[in-house]
Chain A
């Protein structure tokens, strides 16, 4: 158990819909990262937050947004969903936003768009 909690574990929805994925980092970790894992693209970095502020942005679509709340949990919002958004979405956390510290990953939220 990494200590990172993601909900829901599985989600099935239709094209055009909007979903919210939630992540609770390990106790004491200030930084949260979101990654998308798909068969053809591998693990793609989406966005990072540190102590409530956006720290780095990767290949995140404009239809996607995220935030980190004062209690340090984070939410990833995916809207106007398309078939190609079907993927496993991972949240990871670390104590700081830089350094060679380990990232701790949750078990992921599997999104299926029909």
Chain B
């Protein structure tokens, strides 16, 4: 079946450090890929997405590139802030199929000043 695997957390970084959260997927076909973020006490919100191979999604300084050859969609940010502390979820969905969004287990990021 379709699945998403994320690096285990928690990840703790100092402010202004470089962030990478790894995400790989298993799917039959070519899904669209997403990163959602969950801030403390809130629901999930879309951070960025990419709908085809080699697309780069970006938002709020975060970036991720859809790599078909490695079935990956790693999340990166050059300089994290304390306000980036949250749980990050990688997810996939097939645009033309009646299938739901499939999430990874989430990676908790804590950024310390």
Residues of A within 8 A of B (CB): 2, 4, 33, 35, 42-43, 45, 48, 55-56, 58, 90, 92, 97-100, 102-108
CB-CB nearest in chain A for B96: A98
Report the separation of the CA atoms of residues A2 and B101 in the bound assembly, to the nearest whole angstrom. 17
Can you list 5 A-B contacts (CB < 8 A)?
A55-B98, A56-B99, A92-B43, A100-B49, A107-B43
Q: A43-B89, A100-B51, A100-B95 are in contact. Are A105 and B44 (CB under 8 A)?
A: yes
Report the separation of the CA atoms of residues A48 and B98 in the bound assembly, to the nearest whole angstrom. 10
Report the separation of the CA atoms of residues A78 and B32 in the bound assembly, to the nearest whole angstrom. 32
Q: A42-B104, A43-B89 are in contact. Are A102 and B46 (CB under 8 A)?
A: yes
* B: number of interface residues (CB 8 Å): 24
Residue B42 at the chain A interface, CB threshold 8 Å: yes
Report chain B residues within 8 Å CB of A107. 41-43
> Of A45, A55, A106, which one neighbours B101 at CB under 8 angstroms?
A45
Q: A4-B43, A43-B106, A45-B100 are in contact. Are A99 and B95 (CB under 8 A)?
A: yes
Interface string of B19-58 (1 = CB under 8 A from A): 0000000000000100010000111111001010000000
Q: A98-B96, A98-B97, A100-B32 are in contact. Are A42 and B43 (CB under 8 A)?
A: no
Report chain B residues within 8 Å CB of A106. 43
Distance (whole angstroms) from the CB of A54 to the closest CB of chain B: 11
Report the separation of the CA atoms of residues A42 and B102 in the bound assembly, to the nearest whole angstrom. 11
Report chain A residues within 8 Å CB of B43. 2, 4, 90, 92, 105-108
Residue B105 at the chain A interface, CB threshold 8 Å: yes
Q: Is the CB of B100 within 8 A of A56?
A: yes
Report chain B residues within 8 Å CB of A4. 43
CB-CB nearest in chain A for B50: A100
Report chain B residues within 8 Å CB of A99. 95-96
